[in-house]
Amino acid sequence: MAARTDQTTDPALLQSLLQARRGTAFFARKLNELTDADLDGPSLLPGWTRRHITAHVGYNARAIARLIEWAATGIETPMYSSPEARNQEINFGATLSPIALRHLFDHSAVHLNVEWRDLPADAWHHKVKTAQGRTVPAEETVWMRTREVWIHAIDLDNGATFSDIPAPVLERLLKDVTGAWHARGTDIGLLVKVTGTDPALGDTNAANQTTITGPLPALVQWATGRGTTGVTAARDNQVLEQVPAAPKWI
């Protein structure tokens, strides 16, 4: 029997699906390298253990699968019934036995992948609503998942770094984050510049600008609130002793 493949033939969408699947495989590898006892250890996110990260990524796949079902059927199926329900779900998942927690990640990832694979080509343009209330085409769910698996693989604190993330994903992440700042008006006077490139992202019209400079992986690490290693800050051509914290992203 021939293997079933994605129903979409859109090259850009297929490339995006590949990046999401590679991210899922990368997260799976970093998770599988951890012993059951390691799951109890802290993650890079304050207040969350590696259990919380794993539960969140697992339930996130289920939530995104609900959006794909919505796109396929036209029947509204929100990601979560409420923010409180989402948080309760993660906290519950963090209490599961190690084998159940690992199965949650594995099975939910397979479920989402099947939903993506079997979605008719025209349904990718159907509108769904994110947990933040944004109305987006179903194809946006691929990016939503991509950033979750790549970033949270690093949050497992098991040796992964932002340098492990493919450059196209890093580039979109940086645009995603700086775009969110601009939409909220929290980027006033702030420029972000990848070393050796031009132009900078951010508030290019400000009179007094603070410019954050560094390699792409380091800039994304800083922009997503995960450290200042590898980046520098300057104002009026003077290097600052301390790199300011990035504005809130999500």
Among residues 160, 181, 201, the one where a domain terminates is: 160
Among residues 134, 160, 186, the one where a domain terminates is: 160
What does the pLDDT look like over 90-109, one tens digit per residue? 999 999 999 999 999 999 99
What integer pLDDT is reported at residue 197 of this predicted model? Answer: 79
83 and 21 co-located in one domain: yes
Is position 100 within any domain?
yes
Q: Angle 140-155/98-118 helices, nearest 10 degrees?
A: 160
- Structural domain tally of the chain? 2
Starting at the earlier edge strand, list the strands of the sheet with 238-239. 201-202, 190-194, 210-214, 232-235, 238-239
With a CB cutoff of 8 Å and minimum separation 6, the contacts of 22 are 166
What does the pLDDT look like over 110-149, one tens digit per residue? 999 999 999 999 999 999 999 888 999 999 999 999 999 9
pTM given for the model = 0.92
Residue 176, domain extent: 167-239
What integer pLDDT is reported at residue 1 of this predicted model? Answer: 38
Share of the chain above pLDDT 70, in %: 98
